[in-house]
């Protein structure tokens, strides 16, 4: 870290999919990292490669309760992000988003730390504007089965901007679009992990709806690069900023691509679409290009092959009995 200050950085949700990759990046840069996770969906195995790294500390803690530590930066990634997981306990999900935001913003206020909020494209709901720009206010069902997550993240954004306006807390708000890669959970019900596991196992590939709904998939290394660039911007830029890959594809196209890359002969089957599943999803990343000098570099085929290799290795280690949860309302397609 020659010529660069070593920071004390808190990553909540640090044992999860995105959180663990972020910890990798921050540790590689030589920072001290405090990973906080309640391990509801995160796993210590995601950080096992750092077992001997004295710069990493892991703390089991739920951010719905206050946290008292001294840090320079905070990345708040704590919240289940797949419908299967956040709908298991919707009240705890909204507590994580709202109480968690209040507790971490309070910590940032006390310590002077800069704080990053992992918001989501779900704040746009089932959009009436396409592609989605940051100035679009969204089309969200406030009482539906997804609202614990969608409205929880919207409320968290409100809290972040109110703490910034009222107390001068230095905030960074990122709206994350679909992200995939190694360390996704095998049973998280998300469309990429579902399709890959089904294809590798020879099971039917399950599409919810007619497959014409669209998503835009960003590989995890590109997303982590965007996180770090956003945190490093000056205090005059708070966001929100869309982070994702603007290359849009239908769910059916994704299924066919995964069949091709895995060499699978799995049948594609169609089931009813879950409630409030968005029909369109593509980010306008003009602001990210302008403010962060960022855009995704990893193409969908390259990223999918890396992810397929990861899941193939998992399944080959005697885990072929593991399947996506029955009825995983993924619906994932989100």
Cα gap 136→142, rounded to integer Å: 17
Secondary structure (3-state) at 279: coil
Cα dihedral 292, 295, 298, 303 sign: positive
Residues with a catalytic annotation lie at: 149
CB 227 within 8 A of CB 74: no
CB 281 within 8 A of CB 177: yes
| Residue 10 bridge partners (DSSP) | 34, 74
Which residues have CB under 8 Å from 131's CB, separation 6+? 246, 248, 282, 283, 284
Angle at 230 between CA 225 and CA 236, to 5 degrees: 165
CB 180 within 8 A of CB 122: no
Cα gap 244→130, rounded to integer Å: 14
CA dihedral 44→45→46→51, nearest 10 degrees, is 80
Which residues have CB under 8 Å from 119's CB, separation 6+? 153, 156, 157, 173, 174, 175, 176, 240
Q: For the chain, where are the alpha helices, taking DSSP H only?
A: 17-28, 83-86, 90-111, 147-167, 191-201, 220-231, 251-262, 286-292, 300-314
């Amino acid at each position: 870290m020659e010529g660069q200050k070593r920071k004390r950085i808190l990553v909540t949700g640090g044992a999860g999919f995105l959180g663990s990759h972020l910890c990798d990046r921050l540790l590689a840069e030589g920072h001290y990292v405090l990973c906080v996770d309640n391990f509801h969906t995160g796993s210590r195995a995601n950080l096992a490669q750092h077992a001997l790294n004295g710069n990493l500390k892991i703390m089991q803690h739920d951010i719905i309760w206050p946290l008292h530590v001294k840090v320079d930066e905070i990345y708040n990634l704590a919240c289940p992000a797949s419908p299967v997981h956040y709908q298991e306990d919707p009240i705890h999900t909204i507590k994580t988003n709202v109480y968690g935001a209040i507790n971490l913003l309070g910590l940032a206020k006390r310590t002077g730390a800069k704080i990053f909020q992992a918001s989501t494209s779900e704040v746009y709901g089932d959009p009436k504007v396409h592609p989605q720009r940051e100035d679009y206010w969204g089309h969200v069902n406030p009482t539906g089965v997804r609202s614990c997550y969608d409205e929880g993240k919207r409320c968290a954004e409100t809290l972040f901007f109110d703490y910034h306006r009222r107390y001068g807390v230095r905030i960074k708000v990122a709206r994350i679009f679909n992200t995939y890669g190694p360390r996704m959970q095998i049973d998280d019900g998300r469309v990429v992990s579902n399709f890959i596991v089904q294809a590798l196992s020879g099971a039917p590939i399950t599409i919810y709806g007619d497959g014409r709904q669209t998503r835009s998939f960003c590989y995890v290394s590109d997303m982590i690069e965007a996180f770090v660039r956003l945190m490093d911007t000056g205090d005059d830029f708070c966001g929100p900023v869309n982070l994702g890959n603007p290359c849009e594809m239908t769910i059916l196209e994704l299924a066919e691509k995964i069949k091709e890359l895995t060499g699978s002969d799995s049948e594609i089957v169609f089931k009813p679409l879950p409630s409030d599943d968005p029909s369109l999803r593509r980010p306008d990343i003009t602001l990210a290009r302008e403010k962060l000098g960022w855009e995704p570099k990893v193409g969908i085929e390259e990223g999918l092959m890396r992810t397929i290799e990861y899941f193939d290795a998992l399944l080959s280690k005697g885990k072929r009995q593991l399947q996506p949860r029955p009825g995983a309302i993924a619906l994932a397609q989100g």
